Chains A and B, each alone.
Chain A
Amino acid sequence: MSAGGTAALAIEANDLRKSFGKREALAGLTLRIPEGTMYGLVGPNGAGKTTLFRIAVGLSRATSGTIRVLGQEPGTLAVRGATGYMTQAEALYGDLTVAENVRFFGRLYGLSGARLSSAVEEVVRLVDLADRADSVVDTLSGGMRRRTALACAVVHRPRLLLLDEPTVGVDPELRSQFWDAFASWAAGGTTLLVSTHHLDEAGRCHRLGLLRDGALIAEGTPAELLSRSRAATMEEAFLSFAARRRAEEVAR
């Protein structure tokens, strides 16, 4: 908590812009994510979700605007060490086993010895792959590989967890297990920024940002968004906000 009594911000972006040639992937995004929040980023393909993640982990630089991650510039050694990142791609070594992959990423974050072994064991159990820990990743199903990727992202118990579409290609039962895990990590103080296409599961986040064309078109708790849009479901709410934004653009 900050001195003023409000929660410290895990991510604070102001008027963030990123252009790739003439295309603007982020068009003045302003975002505040308090620590300990499970924040859902919802939007169609090309809305700018992955661009925001890449900027937040220091893999890409914003064209203009500012962003602070855990109170620092993104990409510093301290921020990288305190952040877990699950990319859209599985990003695993297919010829290593589940445990070897998790162990490798644990080492990158400074874990070693008994601490590393217990962290690997715990996280592999958490993603329900204890019985496949010694299986080579290339022999696993898509869902199991996603679980392995998630285990790699959280093995070092990060303060900030950036999950870029973690449930793509994952069956409903496993998706539910993932969200249970996310909720428990958030309850333990971890900040999560999760992007998703699944509007139904997005409702489990503490707060949601609806992203379209590189800017937030609505932001708030799921209940607030449903109330403001007078929609029954998150999907209807998103469509409603998107329609309003289009109308505003036409009016301009």
Chain B
Amino acid sequence: MALVILAPTVIMGLFSIILNADERVPKAAIVATGVVSIYLDKLEEQLEVPDEDVDDAGFEIVSIPEGMQPQDAVREGIADAVLVFPGSFLEDRATGKNSRLDLYVEGADPMRTAAIFSRFRKTVPDSLDGMPRLLAVDCEPDCADTIPEGPPKIELTRVYGDEIDQNMDFFAPVLPPFFVFFFVFLLSGITFLRERMTGTAERLLASPLQRSELVTGYVLGFLPPALVQSTVVILFARYVVGGPWGGIVMVLATFLMCLVAECLGVFVSAFAKSEFQVFQFIPVVVLPQILLAGIIWPIADLPVWLRPIAYALPLSYAVEAIRDAAIRHFPLVDCLHYLGILCLFFAASVAGAALSVRRSA
């Protein structure tokens, strides 16, 4: 009963906290070549968010090592965005040519990309006010008035996610592990609860079977249908929903989530006395993963105190691994650490499930 009351309030509270949280100020680096580099400090000052006025128009200015390519700075997480002033910027501006700036962003998350791009479009024109307009030598008096003024064109380059042209491309690859987790958790929870309710669990525990063998047997028994379900869901995401393909990383992450869900189902069934109570665990076990595991919002955008909770959820690692593979095109070897963490989650959930199957009370 407590869950029925507590769970919705906790979930609504989480929604409110996340949606009302201040937007994370992006880290931006400015790279200027040629004459513009003289004005770099001033540019940085104007693009930086004033402390007392954290709005959606400024940046946390960072510097990148000299000689480092903007793409590499973004790739290595030094900056969320790098704005590059080409050497000819002032000349182009003075002669009325369409002055152009190059903006490099990570690009995997279309919403984040749009937000960063919007910040630059709001901030950059004002930041150029203090910059002199160099006029051509042969400029007649007052010719400056004839030069059309306008904001420079900001050319966006995404380091990753070139093929990401709609939000669904961002979400589609991470939906299979979530849905597989959700349904396998419910199925194994209810099935093991039935073992307890019909008395077969008691019979099994009175036999020479070890608790760990019981849980392992359950996992193995569930494995074939769970793998079929995972395969169907992955293929549906790939060929019907569309979106980037995460290859073997996507398959492994989904299968591992399936295994974790089986054990969590067994674990949770120890605390339920009916199928109805298993359903009540959805807000406790499943919903936080939707909100916190990076499916909708990047974990980095969550309030600081919520991030440790996010990192304690297995789905966070499946989401990171799949986005790395599907959107950032990282090879398997670069995603192994996430898959390794999922294996640890699986081992911990087997142990938790085995402990929950109490032989003695």
Most buried by B among A75, A80, A91, A93: A91
Query: Which residues does chain A contribute within 8 Å of B203, judged by CB atoms?
Result: 85, 87, 91, 105, 152
The CA-CA distance from A87 to B202 in the complex, in Å, is: 8
Interface 0/1 of B14-42, CB less than 8 Å to A: 00000000000000000000000000000
Residues A90 and B198 in contact in the complex (CB < 8 Å), given A59-B359, A59-B360, A61-B360: yes
Q: Chain B's nearest CB lies how many Å from the CB of A222?
A: 29
A163 to B360, CA, bound (A): 19
The reply to whether the CB of A58 lies closer than 8 angstroms to some CB of chain B is yes
- Cβ-based interface call for A77 (8 A): yes
Contact at B208–A58, with CB atoms within 8 Å? no
- Cβ–Cβ < 8 Å partners of B146 in chain A: none
A92 within 8 A of B: yes
Identify which of residues 139-159 in chain A touch chain B, using a CB-to-CB cut-off of 8 Å. 152
B: contact size bracket: 10 to 19
Q: Cβ of A89 and Cβ of B199 under 8 Å apart?
A: yes
Closest CB-CB distance, A159 to chain B, in whole Å? Answer: 13
Chain B CB within 8 A of A81 CB: yes
Q: How far is the CB of B195 from chain A (nearest CB, A)?
A: 9
Closest to A110 in B: B208
Q: Which B residues lie within 8 Å of A64 (CB)? A: none
A188 CA / B208 CA spacing, docked (Å): 23
What CA separation (Å) do A61 and B208 show in the bound complex?
17
Closest to B361 in A: A60
A82 to chain B, nearest CB (A): 9
Check A105 against B359 for contact (C-beta < 8 Å). no
* Closest partner residue, chain A, to B360 (CB atom): A61
Q: Write the B182-204 contact mask toward A (1 if CB under 8 angstroms, else 0).
A: 00000000000000001110111
Cβ contact within 8 Å between B208 and A59: no
| CB contact between B361 and one of A61, A80, A87, A109 (< 8 Å): that residue | A61
Give the chain A neighbours of B137 by CB distance below 8 A.
Answer: none
Contact status B206-A59, CB under 8 Å: yes
Q: Which residues of A contact B209 (CB under 8 A)?
A: 108
B206 touches A77 (CB 8 A): no
Q: How many residues of A contact B (CB 8 A)?
A: 25
Give A54 to B206 CA distance when docked, in angstroms.
9
Which residues of chain A are near B291, meaning CB under 8 Å? none
Q: What residue of chain A has the Cβ atom nearest to residue B205's Cβ? A: A59
How distant is the Cα of A54 from the Cα of B200 in the complex, in angstroms?
Answer: 14
Asked if residues B207 and A109 are in contact (CB atoms below 8 Å), the reply is yes
The answer to whether A92 and B198 touch (CB under 8 A), given A58-B206, A108-B207, is: yes
> Does A57 sit at the interface, judged by CB under 8 A?
yes
A75-B360 contact given A80-B208, A109-B207, A109-B208, CB 8 Å threshold:
yes
Would you call B206 and A90 a contact (CB within 8 A)?
A: no
A107–B82 alpha-carbon span in the complex (Å): 65
Contact partners of A83 in chain B: CB under 8 A:
206
Which residues of B from 195 to 226 have beta carbons under 8 Å from A? 198-200, 202-209
Whether A80 pairs with B207 at a CB distance below 8 angstroms is yes
Most chain A beta carbons < 10 A, residue from B199, B202, B207, B361 = B207
Alpha-carbon gap, A60 to B359, bound state (A): 7
Cβ-neighbour of B206 out of A61, A80, A88 (below 8 A): A80
Question: Is the pair B208, A81 in contact by a Cβ cutoff of 8 Å?
Answer: yes
Bound state CA distance, A246 and B203, in angstroms? 36
Q: Chain A 22-50 against B: per-residue CB contact (8 Å), 1 yes, 0 no?
A: 00000000000000000000000000000
Question: In the bound complex, what is the Cα–Cα distance between A87 and B204 (angstroms)?
Answer: 11
CB of A91 within 8 A of CB of B359, answer: no
Nearest CB on A from B213, distance (A): 10
Q: Are B200's CB and A91's CB within 8 A? A: yes
- A81 partner residues in chain B, CB cutoff 8 A: 207-208
Please name all residues of chain B whose beta carbon is closer than 8 Å to the beta carbon of A110 when the two chains form the complex: 208
Scoring A residues 53 to 88 as 1 if CB is less than 8 Å from chain B, else 0, what string do you get?
010011111000000000000010100110101011
- Residues on B with beta carbons closer than 8 Å to the beta carbon of A59: 202, 205-206, 359-361
Cα A90 to Cα B206 with chains together (Å):
14
Specify which of A59, A61, A81, A87 lies most central, judged by the most chain B CB atoms within 10 Å of its CB: A59
CA distance A116 to B360 in the complex (A): 29
A75 to B206, CA, bound (A): 7
A90 & B199 in contact (Cβ 8 Å cutoff): yes
* Cα separation A58 to B205 with both chains bound (whole Å): 9
B208:A87 contact, CB within 8 angstroms:
no
A75 to B209, CA, bound (A): 11
- Taking beta carbons and an 8 Å cutoff, which residues of B are in contact with A? 198-200, 202-209, 359-361
Assuming A91-B199, A152-B203, what are 20 further A-B pairs, CB within 8 angstroms?
A: A57-B206, A58-B359, A59-B206, A60-B360, A60-B361, A61-B361, A75-B360, A77-B208, A80-B206, A80-B207, A81-B207, A81-B208, A85-B203, A88-B199, A90-B198, A90-B199, A91-B203, A93-B200, A108-B207, A108-B209
Which 7 pairs of residues, A with B, have the shortest CB-CB distance? A89-B199, A91-B199, A108-B207, A57-B206, A91-B203, A81-B208, A85-B206
- 8 sampled A-B residue pairs with Cβ under 8 A: A59-B359, A75-B360, A80-B208, A90-B198, A90-B199, A91-B199, A108-B204, A152-B203
